[in-house]
Structure 1
Amino acid sequence: MQLKYILSVLVCSLSLSSFSQEDEVIFSVNNEPTTTSEFLRVYNKNLSIVSDDSQKGIKNYLELYVNYKLKVKQAKDLGLDTVTAYKKELETYKRQLMEPYLKDDAFVSKLVKEAYERGLVEKKASHILVKLPQMVKDTMTAYEKIAEARAAILNGGAFDDIAKQYSDDESAKSNDGNLGYFSVFDMVYPFENAVYNAKKGEVSNIFKTRFGYHIVMLHDTRKALGELQASHIMIKTDSAESRDRIDAIYKELLSGTKSFEQIAKEESDDKFSGEKGGDLGRFGSGRMVKEFEEVVFSLKEEGAISKPFETQFGWHIVKLVKKYPVESFEKQENELTAKVKRGDRASIVSNSIVHKIKNNYEVTVNKKALEPFINGTWRTIELNDELLTVRDMSVSQLVLKDFLEDKEYAEFELEKFKNAQILEYYKAHLEETNPEYAAIYREYKEGLLLFELLQEKVWNKAKDTVAIKDFYDKNRIKYTEGEFNEIRGEVSNDYQNYLEKEWIKKLHSTYNVIVNEEVVLKLIEDKQ
């Protein structure tokens, strides 16, 4: 099919005036331009999947692409891009497509490296937790309670005594708030940050996690012990004979008459591990109670068996099965990266691009509009003023109110809010600033539009048995190798192609197509 070329040097020169020489307009449909870069991107991308060699040339593929754009133009003119179902599906795809563009690989690498370096050591710390109440208005009460606990320690109170008095962590009653040794990924990320940035013997500033407000005190830092695999035999301390039983088992182990695994199956009161020969799997420090951990990590050789010892759960004998020392960064990198992306660092990773771009965006804060948040009246007064701007985007006080929800206003919350608004601005203008994203999104958007239009113009009509039979009868001379029922699939396919060709003819008579022949010739020459 020949294109309806309307060659006009004047029109082309006007259309090209706003584009660089490297990205000239190759054609337009009703004055809507398609640039050379867009055409070449699609051409090069689809060249390998074009089965007909005759369509692989620049001119032939240009004809296909003009026809494609004509269909897109009609779909828009029919308002198919305003249909609710279309907009909903497009928005879902847009969110999915945008995800990789919101991540800064350099920032992710930094978090992975940080995780590795933190994993080289273990921290011993105590904490006090004040849980957040359900009612928003009581948030300040929780903050005042944790602040009172911190002040008591700074005024000379012992951390363990204050923990018993103030902490909402039930374990504080038995461990005085002491969490023992732990390492990277053992705690939620904000808590981990507070501990790894703390100075030994000092009380931290108040910080918040999803569990509530905390303060911590760092007691010690030691080299990471790595992980190990161990088995145990446990006898509950619920009778006077418990000590005698564990001693008898220990003697039997030393005699070698039965294996550790066999005795664990027969004697251990821990039935879950006992069924597996006492196997506890692989674990690191901080996963077991203190007394158990001290004994099992003190065993030097694989296969070594401890003497009987007691914990709150009963009497134990442990066997060291295998040691797993801390591996090199190269060996851990993939696993660490996966943990960073799926753990509670994920929310930071998913929007990490903001750390890279934030200095490129001017954020102006209206200090007067910020005052209600600083003085605490923002929950009780009417808010509707402009709070800040990100370039030309205005953000009202109400947006910050929704952002804070049950949180108290603080400087760090304002910084988080500003980052969130920078990210919103970046997302809203991503099509303008990222050509790759814009091209992929445009292709999907147009393809989704055409799907709806093809349904109406071709596919649904091609299902009409009467119409297909009529087409067969009118073109009977072409079909000499079978009756209609025998070759219906072939006839249906031909009828579909006929419908599309007739549709394209009508589109060319409806819309004004202008092709820049000079640009086309230049592309042909460059390809040769």
Structure 2
Amino acid sequence: MKKPFYTLVIAILVLVFRCGAQTLFTYGSHAVDVSEFQRAYQKNNPGAAGNKEKSIREYLGLYINSKLKIAAAYEQRLDSLPALKEEIRNIREQIIGNYLIDPEGMNLLMKEAFERSQKDIRVSHIFIPVKSKTDTAEAAGKIKAAYTELKNGKSFEEVALAYSQDPSVKINKGDIGFITVFSLPYYFESAIYSLRPGNYSQPVKSDIGYHIFKNSAERKAAGRVRAAQILLGFPPGSDETIKKKTGRLADSLYQLLQKGADFAALAKEFSNDYISAASGGMMQEFGVGAYDPAFEQAAFGLKKDGEISQPVLTEYGYHIIKRITKAEIPSSPDDKSFALNLKTRIEQDERIESVKEKLYQRIITTAGFKESAYNRDDLWKFSDSLLNRAVFGQSLTVSGETPLFRLGEKMMTALDWIAYAQSNRYSPDGSGLIAYPDLLEKFKRFVATEYYRENLEKYNDDFRIQMNEFKDGTLFFEIMTREVWNKAQTDSAGQQNFFEKNKNKYNWKQSAAALIFYCTDTSVASDARKMAADSNFSREEILKRFGDKIVVDSGRFELEQIPGYKKEPIAAGKVTGISRNSGDETATFARIVKMYTKPEPKNFADARGAVINDYQEELDKRWTDELKKKYPVKVDERVLKTLFK
């Protein structure tokens, strides 16, 4: 069969809007505009060199033939077959996730994340916590006072020591070390990366309090490090005596390592980081802003793989760090692996919410969102009656059928809201029930996302084009299977008749009777070849010795089918050299049994494989000719010639 020939052809089947476009060709009552063909040609012939006119005309022939066959598939209503409809539904589910994020918003986040990844910023921090709602005014007053002190010229260190309630401020004077993209919550990161070196931010409010950040210094991104560590941790409540004793042990272990002791063995025996200790101290790869500044400074300060740091003191204990590898941050946004990593991290980060919000606003604007008139207090009471079994001594204006809002053609009622609330009213972070107004907003966004998902072809041209491509490709394979491939394979009488009419095409070239050995790798092939070269070993004995590591094919083969025939002379009794397949590391060789040096006709059995391929082409040609009569093709040469320029 020649299905591989058609795998490229189906990729050309791209449907687009034709409004105002020039028609390149028609087939029956169908028309294809020049932009549709041009997009398909450019997609499948990137950077085509040579004779452009010849290339386009040849491609146009394939394109037209494919269109004819798909038209026949639609006429036979193959698109209504349950199996094909299910296959297309499955394809849709597989690819739709790539289109449920606003592409423009995602591109902006990707650009921003890449630019921020190129530098690290050393950050100083003032923190005023808000422990309860009653503390808010007091905390706001303190952060305002701290900000005023900074504006009046006091140093950031002085103000941090005077105002910040970060537990580590007495040690670090507000300096929290270097950070990079994804090190901190997005709104902190954005506040910091908007600052020039030496500048500080206005107060930033978070869920836990107020913050002021300073950009103390910048540097080129330090990259990412894979390291192993031995942590000698301080037990809770450790006094100076215990800390000094721990430091002496750290020094002793460091000296042992300098004399060649095994790092992994010492980590397993002594490290208090029990997760990494189990794997010989190995840690996950990390960037700046992930650990204590002193730890990071030591880890990133190691100059080469395998280098070991002296003991590093942090609030957790003493660390001995071994550098395993260090990776630089790519400097080009075109680095595909790095771009994919950024995209994955963005999708898992809170910053993606801004893109989702933008998409939500676009959906409700485009689809048409209209809220109905209803009493919200009664909706909450109605919800309580069903979700919490509350009883109210008054009638409510809201019932299950009460419309809440319409999105496009979809009307959502109070019962739809209840069904959503029943499954989603508890906060994922375990903080308890979500307030009804907030939950209703989540419900609207859920409905909008589902509506967009169900109607994505209306809103995203790229998705519609790709789905039409998959659909037409599926129909193409189905009708080719029915009209050509299956017939060519199963019509034994037709094969025989075709062979009899074309016998002169099927002749043996120089050939050999041979055993061809297909081996799992070169090591197996080497051992098997030694046995094959010894006439005392039969094919069966070789197969018994290697089991499923070898497959043997026997028969008459033309010389170009025999592995290694171009590298060495082939003769009866000879075992060819080993040919290795670089794609999967398999290896082949052959044992030659008999040579046939003169050309001679093939019988039907010997020619059957080639006959089927040729018969398939004949069936395809006959059918295509019939389709051209059914759907007459007319190409506008004037329009076509504009593509040659």
TM-score normalised by L of structure 1: 0.60
Mapping of residues 216-235 of structure 1, within 5 Å: 216-218=208-210, 221=213, 223=216, 234=232
Mapping of residues 90-129 of structure 1, within 5 Å: 90-95=88-93, 99=98, 102-104=102-104, 105-113=107-115, 121=123
2:66 matched residue in structure 1: 68
Asked whether the equivalents of residues 120 and 224 of structure 1 are also in contact (C-alpha less than 8 Å), the reply is: yes
1:463 matched residue in structure 2: 489
Mapping of residues 413-428 of structure 1, within 5 Å: 414=441, 417-418=444-445, 421=448, 424-425=451-452, 428=455
Asked whether the equivalents of residues 75 and 453 of structure 1 are also in contact (C-alpha less than 8 Å), the reply is: yes
The separation in 2 between residues aligned to 1:377 and 1:178, in whole angstroms, is 48
Asked if residue 185 in structure 1 is aligned to residue 182 in structure 2, the reply is yes
Cα 1:261–1:218 shift into 2, 3 Å: farther
- 1:121 match: secondary structure: strand
2:624 matched residue in structure 1: 504
Cα 1:68–1:191 shift into 2, 3 Å: same
Mapping of residues 7-406 of structure 1, within 5 Å: 19-20=19-20, 22-24=21-23, 26-29=25-28, 31-43=29-41, 45=43, 56=54, 64-95=62-93, 99=98, 102-104=102-104, 105-113=107-115, 121=123, 150-154=132-136, 185-186=182-183, 204=206, 215-218=207-210, 221=213, 223=216, 234=232, 245-246=245-246, 248-249=248-249, 259=258, 262=261, 269-270=270-271, 305=310, 316=318, 330=331, 337-343=339-345, 345-346=347-348, 352=355, 355=358, 358=361, 361=366, 363-369=368-374, 371=376, 375=380, 377-378=382-383, 380=386, 382-384=399-401, 386-389=403-406, 392-397=408-413, 405-406=424-425
Residue type matched to 2:25 in 1?
A: I
Cα 1:375–1:477 shift into 2, 3 Å: closer
- 2:232 match: secondary structure: strand
Cα 1:220–1:269 shift into 2, 3 Å: farther
The separation in 2 between residues aligned to 1:33 and 1:220, in whole angstroms, is 64
Deviation at 1:387, TM superposition (A): 3.9
- 2:86 match: secondary structure: helix
2:151 matched residue in structure 1: none
Asked if residue 450 in structure 1 is aligned to residue 453 in structure 2, the reply is no
2:158 matched residue in structure 1: none
The separation in 1 between residues aligned to 2:113 and 2:623, in whole angstroms, is 55
Residue type matched to 1:486 in 2?
A: D
The separation in 1 between residues aligned to 2:333 and 2:39, in whole angstroms, is 38
The separation in 2 between residues aligned to 1:300 and 1:460, in whole angstroms, is 63
Asked whether the equivalents of residues 386 and 395 of structure 1 are also in contact (C-alpha less than 8 Å), the reply is: yes
2:520 matched residue in structure 1: none
Asked whether the equivalents of residues 233 and 270 of structure 1 are also in contact (C-alpha less than 8 Å), the reply is: yes
1:475 counterpart (477, 481, 501): 501
Compare 259-268 and 35-44 and name the one that shifted more: 259-268
The separation in 2 between residues aligned to 1:154 and 1:337, in whole angstroms, is 41
Deviation at 1:341, TM superposition (A): 1.7
1:131 matched residue in structure 2: none
Cα 1:484–1:389 shift into 2, 3 Å: same
Deviation at 1:452, TM superposition (A): 1.0
Deviation at 1:216, TM superposition (A): 0.9
Higher relative contact order (CA 8 A, sep 6+): 1
Cα 1:261–1:440 shift into 2, 3 Å: same
Residue type matched to 2:623 in 1?
A: W
Asked whether the equivalents of residues 430 and 438 of structure 1 are also in contact (C-alpha less than 8 Å), the reply is: yes
The separation in 2 between residues aligned to 1:249 and 1:219, in whole angstroms, is 39
- 1:368 match: secondary structure: coil
- 2:603 match: secondary structure: coil
Residue type matched to 1:428 in 2?
A: N
Instruction: Give the % identical residues.
Output: 17
Deviation at 1:402, TM superposition (A): 5.8
Q: Which structure shows the higher helix fraction? A: 1
Cα 1:24–1:262 shift into 2, 3 Å: same
**Alignment coverage as a number of residue pairs:** 446
Cα 1:361–1:261 shift into 2, 3 Å: farther
Deviation at 1:192, TM superposition (A): 7.8
Deviation at 1:270, TM superposition (A): 1.3
TM-score normalised by L of structure 2: 0.51
Cα 1:126–1:282 shift into 2, 3 Å: farther
- 2:369 match: secondary structure: strand
Asked whether the equivalents of residues 70 and 507 of structure 1 are also in contact (C-alpha less than 8 Å), the reply is: yes
Asked whether the equivalents of residues 27 and 515 of structure 1 are also in contact (C-alpha less than 8 Å), the reply is: yes
The separation in 2 between residues aligned to 1:476 and 1:249, in whole angstroms, is 89
The separation in 2 between residues aligned to 1:452 and 1:351, in whole angstroms, is 43
Residue type matched to 2:472 in 1?
A: E
Cα 1:97–1:349 shift into 2, 3 Å: farther
Structure 2, unpaired ranges of 5+:
1-17, 140-164, 170-175, 195-200, 303-307, 387-397, 426-433, 507-600
Residue type matched to 1:77 in 2?
A: E
- 1:496 match: secondary structure: helix
Superposed CA deviations along residues 303-344 of structure 1, whole A, max 9, x for unmatched, are 88569x7967xx63657989x9xx999589969855542136
The separation in 2 between residues aligned to 1:275 and 1:44, in whole angstroms, is 54
Asked whether the equivalents of residues 200 and 217 of structure 1 are also in contact (C-alpha less than 8 Å), the reply is: no
Deviation at 1:27, TM superposition (A): 0.5
Asked whether the equivalents of residues 235 and 242 of structure 1 are also in contact (C-alpha less than 8 Å), the reply is: no
The separation in 2 between residues aligned to 1:120 and 1:39, in whole angstroms, is 54
Structure 1, unpaired ranges of 5+:
1-17, 129-148, 158-175, 205-214
- CA RMSD of superposed structures (Å): 5.9
The separation in 1 between residues aligned to 2:187 and 2:409, in whole angstroms, is 31
Cα 1:340–1:363 shift into 2, 3 Å: farther
The separation in 2 between residues aligned to 1:282 and 1:433, in whole angstroms, is 38
The separation in 2 between residues aligned to 1:492 and 1:483, in whole angstroms, is 14
The separation in 2 between residues aligned to 1:25 and 1:81, in whole angstroms, is 26
Deviation at 1:451, TM superposition (A): 0.4
